[in-house]
């Protein structure tokens, strides 16, 4: 398991920022050598464009086309829509990333201040 946070300095809208974060997460997965990936997104617009759009007319569609092309490099690539309530840890990371100027990467372990949020998110997912 690996997680990363990266600030986004562009002034793009929320949906485009979510797509950019997805593209960055997939690039990160490829960089560390993962061969299988399931992306869980709470933004149904991004999920639907990734899964169903073949156009590249808008900025969002272009980013999602990049995601699909990169996903084809993996043995298994899947995008799922999940309720926002099941992704509390991801939202903690996203809020923290708003103030970052550089990317932060955690492999196998997260900083202590995130462990509580991760365990809470995980325990609610399995109960």
Measured distance CA(16)–CA(10) in Å, rounded: 10
What SS3 state is found at 107? Answer: strand
pLDDT digits (tens, 9 = 90+) for 30-87: 998 999 998 888 889 999 999 998 877 788 999 999 999 999 999 999 998 888 766 6
- Superfamily of domain 2-126 in CATH is Ribonuclease H-like superfamily/Ribonuclease H (3.30.420.10)
pLDDT at 21: 84
Closest CA to 2 of 77, 75, 108, 88: 108
Measured distance CA(49)–CA(60) in Å, rounded: 8
**Where is pLDDT greater, at 125 or 21?**
21
pLDDT at 72: 95
- Please report, for the chain, the start and end positions of each structural domain, with discontinuous segments joined by +: 2-126
C-alpha dihedral sign at 31, 37, 38, 44: positive
Tell me how crowded residue 127 is: count the other CB atoms within 10 A of its CB: 5
pLDDT at 12: 67
pLDDT at 125: 52
Q: Report how far apart the first and last C-alpha atoms of the chain are (Å, whole number).
A: 21
pLDDT at 41: 85
Band (pLDDT 50/70/90 cuts) for residue 15 is confident
In this prediction the pTM is: 0.69
**Where is pLDDT greater, at 63 or 100?**
63
């Amino acid at each position: 398991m690996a997680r990363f946070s990266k600030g986004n300095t562009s002034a793009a809208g929320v949906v485009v920022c979510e797509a950019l974060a997805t593209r960055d997460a997939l690039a990160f997965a490829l960089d560390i050598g993962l061969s299988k990936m399931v992306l869980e997104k709470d933004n149904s617009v991004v999920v639907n464009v990734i899964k169903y759009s073949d156009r590249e007319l808008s900025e969002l569609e272009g980013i999602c086309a990049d995601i699909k092309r990169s996903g084809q490099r993996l043995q298994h690539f899947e995008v799922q829509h999940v309720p926002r309530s099941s992704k509390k840890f991801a939202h903690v990371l996203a809020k923290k990333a708003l103030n970052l100027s550089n990317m932060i990467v955690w492999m196998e372990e997260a900083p202590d201040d995130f462990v509580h949020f991760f365990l809470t998110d995980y325990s609610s997912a399995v109960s």
